Amino acid sequence: MSANGEPTRFLILGGFLGAGKTTLAVNLAKAMRERHDKSVAIITNDQGDVLVDTEYTKDSGFDVQEVLGGCFCANFDEFVHNARSLVSMGRPDIIIAEPIGTSTNILASVVAPLKSLYPDEFNVAPLCVVVDCLRALSHLDGGEKEGLIPSHQLREAEVVILSKADRVTADQMKAIMGELERTAPDAEVIVTSSLDLRNFDDILSLLLSDRHSEKLPVGDENRNFAFEKAKLGWYSSTYTVNSDERVDMYALISDTMKAVAKQYEPRSIAHVKMVLSSEEAAAKMSLVQESMQVDGIHGSRYFKGSGKMVLNARVESPPNRLENVMRGIVAEMAIKHSLQVELETESCFAPRPESPSHYLFE
Ligand SMILES: Nc1nc2c(ncn2[C@@H]2O[C@H](COP(=O)(O)OP(=O)(O)O)[C@@H](O)[C@H]2O)c(=O)[nH]1
Ligand SMILES: [Mg+2]
């Protein structure tokens, strides 16, 4: 229940790796707080064990819970437990949950069970799927053959949120909309950008409305999903870092991203992200295919003294190669930027097939 005794509203923000889900979740949470006096809590989700997304949402000032080690569709009880602890911690009006970017069958394994098992506790907004315009374009151009999971995610969407509209021309947007019309004819489409916030109010209105998820699960039982998911190596690490000299965080992080981009083809790079933080400052950057972007958080761009570094890489690569590449890059960057680094945690693997805890069809 939220503060007013009503069921807590849930927004599930699906979409592929790097589409812009976390950026949108944080922007929505900020706007809800600043413009509508509503509180938002966030649930992050990952295969790995340490999350840049969690650091980023926490640093942005929101209550966060994470479901790690697999999709929350396969860890549904933990997912509900975490939602309940967010409710008892801060009585949020809204919980935004971001499933892993390779999640499939969210309607059957998350939305339907939430609706049928917990109707008095939670009300679920229409399933929103964030789609990166650039990735949509690369599918259209035939540049990418593996559109299996992103296309399935589109077919599940009740609302498609087309992100990164600032990165495409009007003609390209027309082509993307035409393709959407074919793949997801029933979905409502909202075109947006985190840079100019176009149509952002439409997403806020959806969140503030009492529209519920109504779509029946699409029942896409595709054996190739597991195969597609297993192609990705998931590398996560945390380091304690220290420097007596002033380190330029943006230079350090962008050099790291460039070094990853040198090792892999753009199409293999699903999402690499990194956060560097100290008491005074924090900086985050992402690499999605060939596109690198600073997602500044707060404070100065310089870092001195001690802090923490979190690195997540989701790349089509055998895990042992990815681990060696990432270790080598961190070692090289530490020397180049006069940073002492001490490894705290590290893992790298290809996800094993998982089965949902619940799988409901009406
Ligand atoms: N240019 C542009 N970049 C965006 C937009 N939305 C997200 N990004 C960037 O895309 C990268 C991946 O975003 P993120 O929210 O982490 O994606 P997620 O994996 O879906 O959670 C980050 O560098 C974001 O700053 C957008 O609308 N325009
Ligand atoms: Mg994310």
What's the DSSP call for residue 352?
Answer: P
Q: Which amino acid type is present at position 194?
A: S
Angle (CA) 328-332-333 rounded to 5° is: 120
In sequence order, what are the residues at sequence separation of 6 or more whose Cβ sits closer than 8 angstroms to the Cβ of residue 359? Answer: 105, 108, 109
pLDDT tens for the chain, 362 residues long, are: 665 678 999 999 999 999 999 999 999 999 999 999 999 999 999 888 778 999 889 888 999 999 998 898 889 999 999 999 999 999 999 999 999 999 999 999 999 999 999 999 999 999 999 999 998 988 776 655 558 899 899 999 999 999 999 999 999 999 999 999 988 999 999 999 999 999 999 999 999 999 999 999 977 777 788 888 989 999 999 999 999 999 999 999 999 999 999 999 999 999 999 999 988 888 999 999 999 998 877 888 898 999 999 999 999 999 999 999 999 999 999 999 999 999 999 999 998 888 888 887 65
- Quickly count: other Cβ atoms within 10 Å of residue 242's Cβ: 16
Distance in angstroms (rounded) separating the CA atoms of residues 108 and 95: 19
Q: How far is the CA of 247 from the centre of ligand 2 (A)?
A: 26
Domains, the chain, ordered by start = 8-227 (3.40.50.300), 231-349 (3.30.70)
Determine the pLDDT at residue 2: 60
Q: Is 293 in the pocket of ligand 1 (CB under 6 A)?
A: yes
Determine the pLDDT at residue 32: 97
Q: Which amino acid type is present at position 348?
A: C
**What pTM did the predictor assign?**
0.94
Q: How far is the CA of 194 from the centre of ligand 1 (A)?
A: 8
Which one, of 20, 7, 77, 93, lies nearest residue 53 by Cα? 20
Q: How far is the CA of 15 from the centre of ligand 2 (A)?
A: 9
**The two three-digit tokens of residue 211, written as one number:** 């529209």
- For CA atoms 238, 349, 332, 292, the dihedral sign is negative
Distance in angstroms (rounded) separating the CA atoms of residues 286 and 134: 15
Determine the pLDDT at residue 145: 52
Residue closest via CA to ligand 1's atom 8 equals 20
Q: Which amino acid type is present at position 327?
A: R
How far is CA 22 from each of CA 13, 130, 234, 333, rounded to the nearest angstrom? 9, 10, 18, 27
Determine the pLDDT at residue 226: 87
Farthest CA pair distance, the chain: 61
Distance in angstroms (rounded) separating the CA atoms of residues 333 and 264: 18
Pairing of strands 282-288, 188-191: unpaired
The bound ligand whose nearest atom lies closest to the alpha carbon of 194 is 1
Determine the pLDDT at residue 73: 87
Total residues belonging to the chain: 362
Q: What are the φ and ψ backbone dihedral angles of 111, each rounded to 5 degrees? A: -65, -50
Determine the pLDDT at residue 266: 93
